[in-house]
Structure 1
Amino acid sequence: MRAIIFDLDGVLVSTDHFHDDAWRALARRLKISFDETACRRLRGVSQMAALELVLEQSPRRYTAAEKEALAAEKNTAYRAHIAGMTPADVADSTRTTLRSLKRRGLLLAVGSSSKNARFILEQTALTSYFDAIVDGNEITRSKPDPEVFLKAAAKLDVSPAEALVVEDAAAGIRAARSGGFQSAALGPDAAEEGLASHQIQNLADLLALV
């Protein structure tokens, strides 16, 4: 194993609650039902794909231009939340694990569907740990398509067989599997389909795998 590719939200940082709050606010304004089950369906998919899932509950149809405006509205609310993130929002154990992996000579990358990934990494002072970053601005197909992980591997100049993907969402594990990567499922959502190569309870468990 030469490289590890990390999803961002739910793996390196916890911003799911910010996403949930922003989607809830949008759904409330549109008078669309949105509960915890709906929240879980949105994990690990792109913003536009998530919007389509939210709008499934709407009695009306939206044009492409209206959808773009709704996505922008949600993103504005989300960025207002993450603008307040600081290095303190990253667990000490996460930084310790990243440093240990770097010392072992492993290449590290972030592969995230979020278009805000670089902003979050900068806000939390994580950017310097990674040799490559691929985010939602660089892909055309969201997870479970493996595009984001394949591009990250290409930037690291490693093959999928030489890289481990760390994910907290089932869609991400499916993406890793279809791309030919080994995967580590962090938490129950990622492990529920039984497709991951490994299951871990926290990032420090990676040190026993590589």
Structure 2
Amino acid sequence: MRLPRTAHTSRPWRIHEIAGDFHVEDVWALPTPGGPDDLRHLVRQIANNGGDGAAVSSPVYRGLFAVRWMLGRLLGWDKSGTGIGARVRTLRDRLPADLRECPRGPDPRSVPLTSVYQLHDEWAAEMSNRTVHAVMHIGWVPDEADGFRGQMAVLVKPNGLFGAVYMAAIKPFRYMGVYPALFRAMGRTWQAGAGRRGAV
């Protein structure tokens, strides 16, 4: 379920200290109900399954990503010189001392994200290409059933006018084809692992 931006901005996340120049593009409630200490399981699931993109069976989802990666190759959007540490500096350079000493968290296997930091209730990972510098922020928040769930915010810093136009152009595809399929797969994987989490 899509949430208002205030669902992210009103919470005292540490990401606010280092990404104040990023725009909150999207905020979503994730279908991942759990207990107070379950963020680590969600982070592991995302890291191992690329956010569950590998588990998505939707042909629309797969088709959209195939087109995106093809265009990226043809137009050079994803060349090595456009990423973290090349076109932009990593957000790790902005971390205060206490966050720098915390666990960094895992890098997802099948998506071009680099972990910035991981805490008990939040995890941030970043990526950059020729279009945008983006942050995926996963928080762990109380839900309406006296439990907890994941919440994802996407923060972006477009690369000039081209990046802003790109983000506007892909918006309907994200909302109609990418996010619904991705979150359905994420929920299925989360539910399938419920017994395993309970045994830990």
> TM-score of the superposition, structure 1-length normalised?
0.30
Return the structure number with greater helix share. Answer: 1
Return the structure number with greater strand share. Answer: 2
Of structures 1 and 2, the one scoring higher in RCO (CA 8 A, sep 6+) is 2
